[in-house]
Copies of this chain bind each other. A is one copy, B any other.
Amino acid sequence: MPEYTPAPLVKAAEQFARLPGIGMKTAQRLAYHILTLPAETVEEFSAAMVAAREKVRCCGVCGNFTEESVCPICSDPKRDAGVVCVVESPRDVFVFERGGGFDGVYHVLHGLLSPMEGTGPGDIRVRELMERLSGDVKEVIMATNPTVEGEATASYVGRLVKAVGVKTTRLAYGLPAGATLEFADDVTLARALENRNEI
């Protein structure tokens, strides 16, 4: 930023730029915007961030974000505690719940295995998942993303789960709804063909 720019403005922009997906230009624009807001609005904004970080913790059972010691999903008697959907992050729980098509419970790994980044099984919530399996869990759905790390994690954790005799499944691959064949990538198309269903 130009040298005369006030230091607190530069610092605000730097803080915005640390957020994922926010580039330096957007960060500067947001910092300038902050200065045009009423002081109370900025204090409200800041307080909301600190409050979110302070009040929200991880569910003692599934690891999802919650204000309670056990989250509303885990403590809901209408949810099927016998089907556990294993995801990378609380954000993924959000995506499933938004869809509303799943009535089991979750297990948030809080990360994926990544030899490149030095993340091993001890760094994600694998042990906690295995401990849950001693109960009446009938099925574990590996619902990590279809990326290299997501696949590796699904494969590794899936094998551990299977080894203790619990049914293990993986999300289906295929064409996304509403997509046209023309824009499907080769891997997606090959998998859609391989996993074809009788009609």
Interface residues of A (CB under 8 A from B): 1-2, 4-9, 11-12, 14-15, 18-22, 26, 28-37, 39, 42-56, 65-67, 71-73, 89-91, 94, 97-98, 100
Contact = CB atoms under 8 A, between A and B. Distances in A.
Point out which of A28, A32, A49, A55 has the most chain B C-beta atoms below 10 A from its C-beta.
Answer: A49
A32 B2 contact: no
Contacts of A7: 67
Nearest to A46: B46
B20 A56 contact: no
A18 B72 CA distance: 28
Contacts of A32: 65, 89-91, 94
Contacts of A48: 8, 11-12, 14-15
B19 A33 contact: yes
Contact of A42 (B20, B29, B39, B49): B49
Nearest to A53: B42
Contacts of A91: 28-29, 32
A45 B49 contact: yes
Given A7-B67, A14-B48, A32-B91, 5 more contacts: A4-B72, A6-B55, A28-B94, A32-B89, A46-B46
